[in-house]
Amino acid sequence: MLEVDKLSAFYGPAQALFEVSLQVGPGELVVLQGLNGAGKSTLLKALMGLEVRTEGTIRYQSPGGPVSMERWETHRRARAGLGYVAEDRRLFTGLTVRENLLVAAGPDARAQEARALDLFPVLKKLLKRPAAQMSGGEQQMLAIARTLMTNPRILLLDEPCEGIAPVLVESIRDSLLALKQGGMPLLVAEQNRLFADRADRVLLLVAGKVRGS
């Protein structure tokens, strides 16, 4: 599904990732672990073509066949099916929950919204609420739901349960595992072991390099 080979990433002259290779197969959950600054966020950004310059290859099984997307603009990667949920969530805080969902919607908005809300039923009661007036956990649910509105074929999630109240952590984790159960491949960066225990593979990043597995 996604095959990353010797991916290096640079912020200006500073190298943050060193020849990282990994694969995410259909329906697989792959977890990236590592301490603060190890390069987890950088790896997800590099896959999306955000902020960093990269070397190496990113092969992806698109509906039309295999492609190498390492030179593609971010929007093209997103359109091809890479769904990214950033650590800072990037919601439109002045818009309501429903408006945040519709901003991301494709042509089949109703069906997409229904599917996203089924996965996060908490949001059904909050549709008219401005995103600014939600808890961190509710905002995270909205960020994931909004990404689902784009019909992704694989999800890249940066610390989806970081800094969230325990009761909502459980719920977010269960929803994401249900997505995986339904066949959605997931690449999750995390510092705790919420997803690692259920992962098909765990990669440990140390100072920008993969160590062990």
Q: With both helix axes pointing from N to C terminus, report the angle between 136-148 and 109-119 in degrees, rounded to the nearest 10.
A: 140
Give dist(CA 17, CA 157) in Å, integer.
18
Closest contact distance (angstroms) between CB of 167 and ligand ATP is: 23
Nearer CB in complex with ligand ATP: 30/116:
30
In the chain, the amino acid numbered 126 is L
Nearer CB in complex with ligand ATP: 41/140:
41
Nearer CB in complex with ligand ATP: 40/153:
40
* 102 alpha-carbon distance from chain centroid: 19
Nearer CB in complex with ligand ATP: 53/76:
53
Closest contact distance (angstroms) between CB of 11 and ligand ATP is: 3
Q: What is the DSSP string of 131-168?
A: GGGS-HHHHHHHHHHHHHTT--SEEEEESTTTT--HHH
Closest contact distance (angstroms) between CB of 161 and ligand ATP is: 13
Using CB under 6 A as the criterion, which residues of the chain lie in contact with ligand ATP when the complex forms? 11, 14, 16, 34, 36-42, 51
